[in-house]
């Protein structure tokens, strides 16, 4: 904890001459602020970093103000407040860009500053000015009524929310060598950083056993990713990807020609199917099977094989010439212009051959389930008729070895 008091710079008054003239200041050296007088320190409100005299930075004067906001990089925007304010003085807008000296914020540092310093009174010790930014050592109160101040730079390092600027930074190294106050601040920050590192908090937090085991997979993945085999596969992948893009571009260019060829082939196939369908329709009467020309056993076997081999339609033959020889060999003659008698004879012959049944059955569309039911019915009927004929033939036979079977 650092107890801070406001630094006031006394002015050196000259000795009055005997003639009663006004006091003349002593010669000013490079390290004094005599020519500014106490009025500047007590009553002047600085609006920007350039308004502050250069001697204030050399003497590391401690100013005070109120934190308006905190930037994302941890830079404080402070409204400067003079030590005393005259009654007729009105507060002027002031925005001093103050950067915490000697530290770089890490994760959570800016949020901690916003939570603990926003709209609060602070004191900042001037160390250096860089363009419009002020490099300062900042002090703040823990509570509103606390009389003591703590160093914000050291507190951030102790909590692990920031780390000391690397000595690879040439400007930081030059400031350590040329500004003694800055060098002493770095020494205190090193002690705070050792404290945070020893306890493993914030930026210096060490993984526990579970986190260490979980990190092995990540480390292994990184090793595999940067190995020669992974590099080779990556090269092959990029080459394959480039080749695929070339092939894809070529296919896109050839796609219209392919579609055009497919369209021509489809139109040709459509025309061929249409011609075949017309041919089938023209010879439809020649493509049916006449079951009455076969014996009963052949009829039953044929329907059974047809039911298992082709359950959704009849077996087609080459033509009606071989399927119906009796119809072709018979001719109905019309005698004495008696057309009705000739038509009755023709209808009787066609009904005997089953042509009328085929005509009635094919007059309208027959659904698949109706066709299956009809075929099953015809097969069952043929089997039943065959069995009945065998029974009748057995009962009505005349030449039997045992005239009265089963009787003695």
pLDDT in 10s for each residue of the chain, 408 residues: 333 334 444 333 333 333 333 333 333 444 444 444 445 556 778 888 888 888 888 898 899 898 988 988 888 888 888 877 666 667 677 788 899 998 988 888 889 998 888 888 899 999 988 888 898 999 998 888 888 889 999 999 999 889 899 888 888 889 988 999 999 999 999 999 888 888 888 888 877 666 666 666 677 777 777 788 888 888 888 888 888 888 888 888 888 888 888 888 988 888 888 888 877 766 544 444 444 444 555 555 555 554 444 344 444 444 444 545 555 556 788 889 999 999 999 899 888 888 888 888 889 999 999 999 999 999 999 999 999 999 998 888 777 777 676 665
Task: Enter the tokens of residue 183.
Answer: 């060098």
In a domain, 176, yes or no: yes
Domain-located, residue 127: yes
Cα 260 to the center of its chain, rounded Å = 38
pLDDT of residue 372: 94
Q: Is 382 helix (H, G, I), strand (E, B) or coil?
A: helix
Q: Note the pLDDT of residue 300.
A: 52
- Domain membership of residue 24 (yes or no) is no
What CATH number does residue 182 fall under?
2.40.50.90
**C-alpha–C-alpha distance, residues 123 and 136, integer Å:** 10
Q: Is residue 365 part of a domain?
A: no
Residues 6 or more apart whose Cβ sits within 8 Å of residue 366: 374
- Residue at token pair 């493509």: 287
pLDDT value of residue 338: 93
The count of structural domains within the chain is 1
- The reply to whether 307 falls in a domain is no
Give the residue numbers spanning the domain of 179: 38-204
- CA 151 to chain centroid, in Å, comes to 46
> Is residue 5 a part of any domain in this protein?
no
Q: Please list, in sequence order, all residues whose beta carbon lies within 8 angstroms of the beta carbon of residue 129, skipping any fewer than 6 positions away.
A: 49, 50, 52, 54, 57, 135
In a domain, 220, yes or no: no
Which uninterrupted H or E stretch holds 305? helix 296-309
The answer to the question of residue 260 being in a domain is no
């Amino acid at each position: 904890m650092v107890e801070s008091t406001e630094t006031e710079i006394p002015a050196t008054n000259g000795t009055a001459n005997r003639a009663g003239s006004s006091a003349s200041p002593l010669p000013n050296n490079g390290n004094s602020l005599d020519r500014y007088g106490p009025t500047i320190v007590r009553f002047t409100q600085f609006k920007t970093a350039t308004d502050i005299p250069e001697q204030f930075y050399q003497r590391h004067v401690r100013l005070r103000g109120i934190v308006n906001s905190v930037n994302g990089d941890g830079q404080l925007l402070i409204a400067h407040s003079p030590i005393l304010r005259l009654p007729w003085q009105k507060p002027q807008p002031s925005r001093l860009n103050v950067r915490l000296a000697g530290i770089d914020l890490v994760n959570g540092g800016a949020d901690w500053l916003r939570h603990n310093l926003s709209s609060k009174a602070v004191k900042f010790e001037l160390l250096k000015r860089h363009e419009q930014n002020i490099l300062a050592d900042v002090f703040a109160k823990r509570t509103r009524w606390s009389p003591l101040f703590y160093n914000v730079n050291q507190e951030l390092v102790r909590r692990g929310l920031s780390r000391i600027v690397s000595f690879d930074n040439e400007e930081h190294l030059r400031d350590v060598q040329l500004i003694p106050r800055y060098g002493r601040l770095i020494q205190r920050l090193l002690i705070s950083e050792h404290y945070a590192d020893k306890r493993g908090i914030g930026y210096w937090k060490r993984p526990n056993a579970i986190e260490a085991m979980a990190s092995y997979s990540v480390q292994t993945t990184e090793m595999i990713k940067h190995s020669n085999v992974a590099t080779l596969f990556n090269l092959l992948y990029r080459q394959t990807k480039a080749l695929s893009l070339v092939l894809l571009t070529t296919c896109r260019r050839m796609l219209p020609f392919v579609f055009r060829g497919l369209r021509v082939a489809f139109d040709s196939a459509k025309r061929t199917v249409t011609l075949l369908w017309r041919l089938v329709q023209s010879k439809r009467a020649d493509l049916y099977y006449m079951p009455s020309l076969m014996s009963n056993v052949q009829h039953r076997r044929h329907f059974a094989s047809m039911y298992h081999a082709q359950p959704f339609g009849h077996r087609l033959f080459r033509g009606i010439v071989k399927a119906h020889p009796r119809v072709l060999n018979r001719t109905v003659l019309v005698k004495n212009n008696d057309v009705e008698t000739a038509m009755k004879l023709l209808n009787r012959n066609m009904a005997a051959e089953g042509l009328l049944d085929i005509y009635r059955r094919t007059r309208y569309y027959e659904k698949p389930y109706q066709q299956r039911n009809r075929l099953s019915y015809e097969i069952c009927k043929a089997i039943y008729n065959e069995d009945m004929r065998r029974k009748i033939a057995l009962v009505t036979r005349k030449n039997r070895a045992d005239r009265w079977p089963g009787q003695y």
